[in-house]
Structure 1
Amino acid sequence: MPQWDNPADAATLDRAQGCLLGQLAGDSLGGLVEFQSAGAIRQRHPLGVRDMVHGGTWGNLAGQATDDSELALMLARTLVNHGTYDCQTMLESYLHWWPLAWDRGTTLSAALGAAADGKTPAERMALAQRHARTDSQANGSLMRISPLGIFAAGRPAWAADRAREDSGLTHPHEVCRESCAAFVAAISHVIATGEGAKAAWAVALAQARAPAVVQVLRLAGEQPPADYQKNMGWSLIALQNAFYQALHAPSLEEGIVATIGQGGDTDTNAAIAGALLGAVHGKAGVPERWQVALVACQPHEESGTRHPMPREFWPMDCLELAEKLLQAGRADGANKHSG
């Protein structure tokens, strides 16, 4: 692995690690109060949900991932191991998670549940494509996609195209695909350049092709989503909120806490916002207590979690994983450029 002695490289690594830490922190914190209303959260947590603890909605350990970041970790580890993005390989990785999963969204279930019956990779891909819900605008692809932005740092257009492909595996609706494309392009750009939230927002607007996605991105410049409860799980709520927080929140912590405080699909909204905030603010902007909880969170026989999972779904190596993602992505980009 590189030593990252160059200050510019060290800053890039800091932002890459911030992105993955933000994803994982938002997910774990949001999972404590998932599905609760803003009023209920405010009553139980008058200062906001700020600390990772055992329990919550799912009975998880402090720092443990929900389905959002379990899939993000699958994406990250597969990119590192495979060295590039390949749809078939990624589908197989998501199917590795599928029979182990303890929480599954309905849109994900339509594609992966059908694909799991295939006998060969080609059959599984055909089944996923046949059964993926074309009517759903759910956030299940947006919630997992941030590691692609780390891997593709400095290649926003390439990142956007791969994000469209990845979303298409399970969430083929134009709104889902273009939300992923805009989001990942923004992360790719800001990790590589350090130019901040406004530059990330501009890149997202430039990459988005769906009018509905462009509309919510523009709204994010001025306001958060009007309602987090009515259409809980909608990708456009998560996307607008993420960019609103990146543009307006005074810090990563306050952006994640504010997101969770709105209620609804708190883990997913906070994971998505956290990834973008982390790319903007870097590892240095992630509270130390959150970092400690995440790297200390790992499987062991007496952990007490309600949802034990294999080691690949845990966050304990997230700092090293972000570094490996960045390095693998640089090698992939160099190979494509030389070819």
Structure 2
Amino acid sequence: MEVLEASGSGSTAALLDRARGALLGLAVGDALGAPAENLRPSEIRRRWGRIEGFVSDDPAGTDDTEYAIFSGLLLARHGSALTVAHVESAWHEWIADLDEGPFRGAGFSERGTLENLRRGLAAPISAQHRHAWSDGLAMRAAPFGVFAAGRPSEAARLVAVDGSVSHDGEGIYGGRAVAAGVAAAMGGAGPAGVIGAALSVVPMDSWTARSMRRAVVAAGRTYPDALSMERAVRSAVVIGGYPWTDLAPEAVGLAFGAFAAARGDFRTSVLTAVNMGRDADTTAAVAGALAGSVSGWAAIPEEWASAIGPVRGSCLPSMRGYHVLDIAELLTPDDGDDPA
């Protein structure tokens, strides 16, 4: 598989198109997957049949979109000079030291991090909680790939800096895989190159790498219908009976499996992730970011794209009013700018 690692990645217009595709794709996947979060496929089918679009009259993103905006703003402020101290300071400035939204900082890994920071613990000790393996870094990793377009290793390095405050081990690996995959796509790689780049930045013997390989292999087989394919990909990755759905190796594996099965097609990538259930908002957000960065934002159906507005700050009040497209522009260099 091709691993793209280039300093130049095409025209500014092409980069901006892919950046918009990546981050709007993330937000669309998040909003589509949110109603199916923590559900089994059978429960999804009983409620809605096969999900083919928004099942709510008022679709909205979750912590996935709001934390991606948070990381994007942080990256726009510091660029490649980003340090752990910068990240820790931003967590205090924009989250820990402010009044909380109704979802209280959102997922388990974020809650554990906020509790540790408020107790006065610093990174990497702030990431020593029971959910350091979660997909909370993977869900906010796409902006690093947008920023480091065509440079998967740099995207993986930067997202690991961000994640050191909140995650460890497999949680970091999941973020690295997503950031590198998006970076490769931003540089013009197709689905095979995206998957190769993602696998190149995580240890071969890690749970994350094994889950990704199993999902991609399962996705590449021939099936009589979409349901059979989804069952096979899910069975290749999910630990039956395990209650937590926010495992980074699982969520990232399912997202890459959906992306591989769809051969990078945006609609199919996202809907495959949604209909597999589990942590569906995150798996669909990651699949959407990957597919959107490959094909650009024109690949996102208009009825989905137009439903995405500025975030509401339900998880992070400080992010209220920002739109993912604003972040895409912040992270894309103007002609003549140095991307680093």
- SS in structure 1 at match of 2:164: helix
Letter in 2 for 1:198: A
- Once the two structures are superposed, the pairs formed by residues 272-311 of structure 1 within 5 Å of their partners are 272-295=286-309, 297=310, 307=314, 310=317
Percent identical pairs in the alignment equals: 27
Aligned pair partner of 1:219 in 214, 237, 252 = 214
Aligned pair partner of 2:128 in 103, 107, 132 = 132
Instruction: Give 1:138 deviation, angstroms.
Output: 1.4
- Once the two structures are superposed, the pairs formed by residues 1-339 of structure 1 within 5 Å of their partners are 8-51=11-54, 53-54=56-57, 61-62=58-59, 64-84=60-80, 85-95=82-92, 96-98=94-96, 99-101=99-101, 102-103=103-104, 104-118=106-120, 125-126=122-123, 129-130=125-126, 132-133=128-129, 136-172=132-168, 174-192=169-187, 194-211=188-205, 212-223=207-218, 224-226=233-235, 227=238, 230=242, 231-249=244-262, 251-295=265-309, 297=310, 307=314, 310=317, 312-314=319-321, 317-327=323-333, 331=337, 333-334=339-340
- Aligned 8 A contact 1:111 1:129 in 2: no
| 5+ long unaligned stretches in structure 1 | 1-5, 55-60, 119-123, 300-304, 335-339
| 5+ long unaligned stretches in structure 2 | 1-8, 219-232
- Aligned 8 A contact 1:41 1:263 in 2: yes
Letter in 2 for 1:233: D
Matched residues in 2 for 1:130 and 1:136: separation? Answer: 10
User: Quick one: structure 1 residues 130 and 195, their matched pair in 2 at CA, closer, same or farther if it must change by over 3 Å?
Assistant: closer
Instruction: Give 1:328 deviation, angstroms.
Output: 8.0
- Aligned 8 A contact 2:137 2:171 in 1: yes
- Aligned 8 A contact 2:19 2:296 in 1: yes
Instruction: Give 1:198 deviation, angstroms.
Output: 0.4
Matched residues in 2 for 1:238 and 1:253: separation? Answer: 18
Kindly provide the CA deviation profile for residues 64-88 of structure 1, in whole angstroms up to 9, marking residues without a partner as x: 3211221111011122233442322
User: Quick one: structure 1 residues 130 and 252, their matched pair in 2 at CA, closer, same or farther if it must change by over 3 Å?
Assistant: closer
- SS in structure 2 at match of 1:100: coil
- Aligned 8 A contact 1:152 1:330 in 2: no
Matched residues in 2 for 1:216 and 1:329: separation? Answer: 39
User: Quick one: structure 1 residues 330 and 21, their matched pair in 2 at CA, closer, same or farther if it must change by over 3 Å?
Assistant: farther
User: Quick one: structure 1 residues 46 and 138, their matched pair in 2 at CA, closer, same or farther if it must change by over 3 Å?
Assistant: same
- Aligned 8 A contact 1:242 1:273 in 2: yes
Instruction: Give 1:147 deviation, angstroms.
Output: 0.7
- SS in structure 1 at match of 2:125: helix
- SS in structure 2 at match of 1:222: helix
Moved more, 211-220 or 20-29: 211-220
Instruction: Give 1:286 deviation, angstroms.
Output: 0.7
User: Quick one: structure 1 residues 256 and 9, their matched pair in 2 at CA, closer, same or farther if it must change by over 3 Å?
Assistant: same
Letter in 2 for 1:199: G
- Aligned 8 A contact 2:270 2:284 in 1: yes
Q: Which residue of 1 aligns with 2:223?
A: none
- Aligned 8 A contact 1:24 1:69 in 2: yes
Kindly provide the CA deviation profile for residues 19-58 of structure 1, in whole angstroms up to 9, marking residues without a partner as x: 101111111111123222211211222241512634xxxx
User: Quick one: structure 1 residues 48 and 206, their matched pair in 2 at CA, closer, same or farther if it must change by over 3 Å?
Assistant: same
- Aligned 8 A contact 2:141 2:176 in 1: no
User: Quick one: structure 1 residues 329 and 187, their matched pair in 2 at CA, closer, same or farther if it must change by over 3 Å?
Assistant: farther
Instruction: Give 1:281 deviation, angstroms.
Output: 2.1
Kindly provide the CA deviation profile for residues 245-296 of structure 1, in whole angstroms up to 9, marking residues without a partner as x: 222216211221121111221111211221112112210111111111113x
Moved more, 194-203 or 206-215: 206-215
Matched residues in 2 for 1:7 and 1:154: separation? Answer: 9
Count of aligned residue pairs for this structure pair: 306
Letter in 2 for 1:88: A
- Aligned 8 A contact 2:126 2:166 in 1: no
Matched residues in 2 for 1:288 and 1:202: separation? Answer: 30
Letter in 1 for 2:26: Q
Kindly provide the CA deviation profile for residues 95-148 of structure 1, in whole angstroms up to 9, marking residues without a partner as x: 323442415322222222120243xxxxx525x625622774211111111111
Matched residues in 1 for 2:134 and 2:112: separation? Answer: 12
Letter in 2 for 1:115: L
When normalised by structure 1's length, the TM-score is 0.80
Letter in 1 for 2:255: A
- Aligned 8 A contact 1:151 1:329 in 2: no
